[in-house]
Structures are given as structure tokens and as C-alpha cells.
Structure 1
């Protein structure tokens, strides 16, 4: 088994207003999920943010739960946690690809999501990745969500007249005073 290569980790973001994160986890492999959750909670708390936790049956339900929460709640970001270990059938490929694709589509719609769903060949790989004192992928997913929240807040500032705006001008209306 190859050792993890060292990589650069961004400094933690800071916030001037409270941040609320929803952790959505599939505890199919409970011990692995518990380590992912511990890492995510610690990272969120290190940024003085708050979190809530919801469990779903499997990785395929994680994006649906995120979508429901986005429509019905007031979370700033989401952390998706779970573990998919390759088995003897192609079901592994379906679960890995579809859960990841659904989370990516939600992200492209503007949701701030850190994807911490492990996709591994065996239990040992999952244990190493979930362990908070080793690769801490739960903490990494929380950090990703928090960084996206910070970016979203940065860019949500009032426009200064540069770039594209959402103002719609009707034909012949040169000063934006149309009442149509």
C-alpha cells in the first residue's frame, strides 16, 4: 500500500457571521462513519461554526437528503460522509458514480458541499482515510464545505458595476426606469 503524499492544506477560513453546516452521513460501516464524523465536527468547530447531523441508509441517499435540506432548511453548507467498499458486483461503480455525480450537480447549482464519501478497494484503505490522526477525510470534506461557504460570502457582496449584472433592460429603456 502506497503512503499518502504530502500536500498543501489551505488555511482555515474565518467568518464574521455564524455558519451552520449539515453533516449528512451514511453509517453503513459504522466505525468508519464515526471517524469521518469526528473529523468533520472537529474541523467545523475549529472555524467556530455550528453543525447538525442526519443519517441516511446509504450513499445514494446522501444527495437527496442534501437537496431536501437545501429546500427546507437554512444551512450554509453541507458535508457528505460515507464509505463505499468494492464488492463482487458492479453495484460499487453505480453507487460511487451516481452519488458523486449527484453531489457535483448540487454543487454546480450553488450549494457548498464537501464530498467525504470514501470510495475504496478494501476496509484497510477506508480505515486509513477515515482516521482523524491519519488522512482525516471527514475533516477534509468539512474544510472544503467551509471554504466554499467563505467564497460564496465573499462574492455575495454588493456589485460595484463591474462585470455582468442581473438587471434586465427592455428595448428602448436606456436608464432602467421602465415600468413594464
Structure 2
């Protein structure tokens, strides 16, 4: 059974400056969501970070909420939590695929997101995965976000004047040169 296989878990990253995480959860299955949130909170607090929590109606709204938060707030990273249990229709496939793909696309834009949206066949599978004392997928999603934040801080501090410069930064640099021709 997959729940009893051992696997390697990266050591927790450490941070010079505290991290601020937004946990976005769909509490469609409230007890499962509550367990996942508990695991995520504990993982963030274990590195001295802080968290905010928002709830959205379903898994499809999680990436949208993260996108809004990224544009309008100052979080270092995000934890996406929810549960999709297979039903009798193809709606399960749509929700699983579309929520996962949207989170992946946000990540490829540079957001630090831990994806903890469970996609399971039945409730017992979800309960085992959500339980902080068992598979703790909420804590695992928070750990993933924290590792990505650590990478972005490491590489963000090493910026060099070589390679691609985002357009917004290029325009900022051009404006500074125009305002200060001696620069």
C-alpha cells in the first residue's frame, strides 16, 4: 500500500527573514480540509513563518484566488489545499486537470506554490492523506512552497547583469537613466 512506503523528505529550509504564506483552501469536505490546513500551518510555523488563510468554494477557484492575491498583496508563497473525490461523471477529471494546470502555470510565472489539492478515488484515501499524523499532504504542500521560496530568495539575491531582464524592470532601469544621465 502506498501509505506505507518510505520516501525521502528534504530537510526544512531556513530563512534569514520570515516568510509570509497564504493558505488557500476549498473546504468542500470540511473535515479533510481542516486536517490539511492544520498540517500546513504547523509546517509554516516550524520555520518561523506566518500565514493567512482564505476559503474558496471549490478546487477550480483556488488558482484564481492565488492569482488575485499575487497581484494585490505581498505574500512570499502560497499553499493550495482541497480535495476532489471521484464521482460518477467526468467532472472529476475536469476539476483535477484544470486546477492542477492553472497552479502549474502560475508556478511557471514565478509564484512559489505548494499544490496540496488531493485527487482521490474515495473518502478513506482522502482521510489518510489529509491526516497530519499520517501522510500529512497539507504539511507537504506547505513544505514545497517553503522550498520554492528559499530558492527564489537564493537566486533573487544573485541577480547579475547578464541574461533576461523582465520588461517591467527594463523600463524602470531606462527611466532611472533618463532621470539621472550620469548613472
Scaled by the length of structure 2, what TM-score is found? 0.88
Going from structure 1 to structure 2, the CA distance change for 1:93 and 1:167 (only over 3 Å counts) comes to closer
Q: Distance in 2 between matches of 1:45 and 1:33?
A: 18
Residues 115-154 of structure 1 mapped to structure 2, 5 A cutoff: 115-154=115-154
Matched residue SS, 2:21: strand
State the match for 2:172 in structure 1: none
Distance 1:28 1:165 in 2: 42
Taking a change above 3 Å as real, the CA distance of residues 49 and 91 of structure 1, as seen in their structure-2 partners, is same
Residue in structure 1 matched with residue 174 of structure 2 by the alignment: none
Separation of aligned partners in 2, 1:167 and 1:92: 37
**Secondary structure in structure 2 of the residue aligned to 1:6:** coil
Secondary structure of residue in 2 paired with 1:38: helix
**Partner residue in 1 for 2:171:** none
Shift of 1:68: 0.3
Partner of 1:14: 14
Distance 1:153 1:93 in 2: 35
Structure 1 equivalent of residue 170 of structure 2: none
Q: Distance in 2 between matches of 1:2 and 1:139?
A: 18
Q: Is the 8 A contact 2:3 2:135 kept in 1?
A: no
**Distance in 2 of aligned mates of 1:166 and 1:67:** 22
Runs of 4+ aligned structure 1 residues displaced above 6 Å come to none
| RMSD of Structure 2 on Structure 1 (CA) | 1.8
Unaligned stretches of 5+ residues in structure 2: 168-176
How many aligned positions are there? 170
Q: In the TM superposition, what is the alpha-carbon distance from 1:164 to its structure 2 partner?
A: 2.1
Q: Which runs of 5+ in 1 are unaligned?
A: 169-176
TM-score by length of 1: 0.89
Match in the other structure for 1:172:
none
Offset of 1:5 from its aligned partner? 1.4
Greater fraction helix: 2
Match of 1:164 in 2: 163
